Structure 1
Amino acid sequence: MQLYYAPTSPFSRKVRIIARELGLEGKIAEIMIDPWTDAALREHNPLAKVPTLVLENGMSVFESAVICDYLDEVARANGRETGIIPHEGPERLNALQWQGLADGMMAATGRLFADSRRPENERSDFVMDRQHAAVQRSIDVIEGGIISLATDSPDIGILSVAVALEYVDFRWPDGRFVVSDDLRHWISELSDRPSMIATRYHLLPV
């Protein structure tokens, strides 16, 4: 399998982390690209977005949640007893709900960052305020619930939230978002996992 990714993309990072947590990194060739300029990407994904996973039969799988679900099935088919996505019950819904919140938070963070780089006369204060509120409110909701969850065997929801929170710090290191000390301690426990260390955000080479 081949995975097209960008090191600044939180959705790419989520997939790369999940692959490592499932022990599948050796089965995936990771190809770092700039999705804005790499014409080859559109051959595999009409949206020209990362992450995009190309299977051995040539089929392309895109959207991070879909890729993670597929990798979870591959790991189970290869004999792994416990996947990253609970199969049923409240645990499954809870994990997927946290993933959904994290994905929305990552999208809002990215849009806010992109808008902030536009000339002032091309920005919409209403849109930027809305995205800022979405990110801060998501952080507040996370603090109100997920930090009670254990970090020793994280599922897709917990890992997605960690990816989203670190993305906020990557794009906004100036501390404009309020993150409590308790939540930062919770993040730090996950940040030391090998999968997180191996996939740190960084800018594309110039």
Structure 2
Amino acid sequence: MKLIGSLTSPYVRKVRVVMAEKKLEYEFVVENVWAQDTSIQTHNPLGKVPCLLMDDNGSLFDSRVIVEYLDTLSPVGRLIPQPGRDRAATKCWEAIADGVLDAAVAINIETTKRPAELRSQDWIDRQHKKIAAALDSMNKSLDDQPFCMGVNFSLADIAVGCALGYLDLRFSDLNWRSQYGNLQRLDEKLQARPSFVSSLPPTQN
């Protein structure tokens, strides 16, 4: 398999962490989707990463789709529960963590890709409110549990860890640790895992 992505995309990192935890072999192909000569749309018509090229030359895109598929490839360390309430809860954790990413990436694009005279501070502030509300909700839901779903490490933790890592990468002045102690405790455990260490964006090394 080949994984097409960037070294700083948190969605790509989520897939890379899953592949490491599942002990799956793959080739990582770095792609800059903002470059004029990008070829990403050959495999994903939406022009986004991550994109997984499978051995039969088929492709999967969207991190949620990819990680669900990857979890079926190996019995090692199942990350998504079988259908039922726990599975739905795990996917909800992933959804809220991805919501943090969606808002954070939107802010980053607005402030780095859009001309200054066209930027909307009201819109940026709206995204920041989404991030704050999501962090508060996750912090309360985590409570004193060792992991998002209780005692077992799962996709929920991977999604949350990648979201928090992206906030550290792009919004170092946010200082979320001072407000969300439960998330800080979880993050310390996650960032020490080899799967997270090996997927750190270059500017965090």
For the criterion TM > 0.5, the same-fold answer is: yes
Query: 80, 102, 105: which is aligned to 1:110?
Result: 105
Between the aligned partners of 2:31 and 2:127, the Cα distance in structure 1 is 27
Residue 169, structure 1, aligned to residue 164, structure 2: no
TM superposition shift of 1:169: 1.2
Q: For the Cα contact (< 8 Å) 1:147–1:186, is it kept in 2?
A: no
Q: Look up the SS of the partner of 2:72 in the other structure.
A: helix
TM superposition shift of 1:140: 0.5
TM superposition shift of 1:147: 4.5
Paired residue total? 197
* Gap runs ≥5 in structure 2: none
Spell out the pairing of 1:1-206 with structure 2 (5 A cutoff). 1-24=1-24, 26=25, 28-37=26-35, 38-76=37-75, 80=76, 82-117=77-112, 118-151=114-147, 153-175=152-174, 177=176, 179-202=179-202
Between the aligned partners of 1:195 and 1:189, the Cα distance in structure 2 is 12
Report % sequence identity. Answer: 30
Q: For the Cα contact (< 8 Å) 1:45–1:62, is it kept in 2?
A: yes
Q: Look up the SS of the partner of 1:85 in the other structure.
A: coil
Between the aligned partners of 2:14 and 2:143, the Cα distance in structure 1 is 19
Q: Look up the SS of the partner of 1:74 in the other structure.
A: coil
Between the aligned partners of 2:115 and 2:28, the Cα distance in structure 1 is 35
Q: For the Cα contact (< 8 Å) 2:71–2:78, is it kept in 1?
A: yes
- How big is each residue's C-alpha offset from its partner over 1:52-92, in whole Å with a ceiling of 9 and x where there is no partner? 0001111110000000011011114xxx4x51110122211
Between the aligned partners of 1:66 and 1:34, the Cα distance in structure 2 is 21
What RMSD over aligned residues (CA atoms) do the two structures have, in Å? 1.7
Supply the AA of the counterpart residue of 2:78.
G
Supply the AA of the counterpart residue of 1:106.
L
Runs of 4 or more, structure 1, over 6 Å off, are none
TM superposition shift of 1:7: 1.0
